[in-house]
Amino acid sequence: MKSVDVPWSRFLMPPLHEEGPRFLAVFAALALVLYLLTGWPGGLIGLVGTVWCFFFFRDPVRYVPTRPGLMISPASGVVQMIGEMAPPPELGLGDTAVTRVSVFMSVFDCHVNRIPCAGEIRSVVYKPGRFVNATLDKASEDNERNGLRIALPDGREYGVVQIAGLIARRIRCDVHEGQTCQTGDRFGLIRFGSRLDIYLPPGTNPLVVLGQVCVSGETVLADLTADEPAREGKAL
C-alpha cells in the first residue's frame, strides 16, 4: 500500500495567486487603521477580513487526473445547474444545444480557474455585460463574461465561460488564441464570487450531479472515452 505524508502547511498556508499579495496588503493596512481608531473590536474585524482575503486568493497544489479523455472541473464550488443549452454565440460552437455544467464559486471558494481538458485555445472572447447574481440562469446571457473555445486532439471542441457575479467586478484570463494547454493548467481567476459554465462536447454525459462540491483541477466532470449515461445522485 502506498501512502504520502500531507503537511499541515498545505491547508494552513497554501500558496497565493500572484494577485493576492497586493490585496492582502490593503486588507492588513485597513485592519491596522481600524485597530488604531477603535481598538480591538475594529482590529479583530480587520484581522478576520485579512484572513479571508488570504484564503480567497489561495492557489493550492492540485493532483490532476492524467488519464486521457477525462475532463476535470475548472472551478472549485457547487454544481448549480446541469442541462441542455446552446453555447454563447461568440464562441462559434454552433447553435445546437449541448450539455452545460455550471459551477458556482462562493466568496469562500478557491477562485483560480483551470483548463478542463488538454487542447488548443481556438478563441478567447470577452463580452461586457451586467453583474446580476451568478446563481441565476440568465447570468450566462446577461453578465460580463469571458469565453474560451478549446479544440481537443481528436478535433472535437468544447467551451468554458468565466461569468462575473453580483460582487465580482474583474475577470482575469491568462491564455491566448493558439496556445496549447494541458489538463489542469491555470488559466485565470475571477474576483469576488462568480460562476463557470462548461459546454461539453456533443454526446458527452456529465459524471457529476446537482449540488455536488467540485475541486478545481481534481473533480472529474466527464469522460470523453466512456459511453455511460449521465449520473444521478441525491443529498443524504
**Which residues does the annotation mark as catalytic?**
194
Total H helices, total E strands in the chain: 4, 13
Find the helix packing angle between 40-56 and 20-38, rounded to 10°: 170
Q: Is 185 exposed, middle or buried (0-12, 13-18, 19+ CB in 10 A)?
A: middle
- Amino acid letter, residue 80: Q
CB 98 within 8 A of CB 72: no
For the record, the C-alpha cell of 231 comes out as 449520473
Is the bond leading into 57 cis (omega within 30 degrees of zero)?
no
**Neighbour tally for 221: CB within 10 Å:** 24
Can you say how many angstroms the Cα of residue 17 is from the centroid of all Cα atoms in its chain?
14
For the record, the C-alpha cell of 31 comes out as 485592519
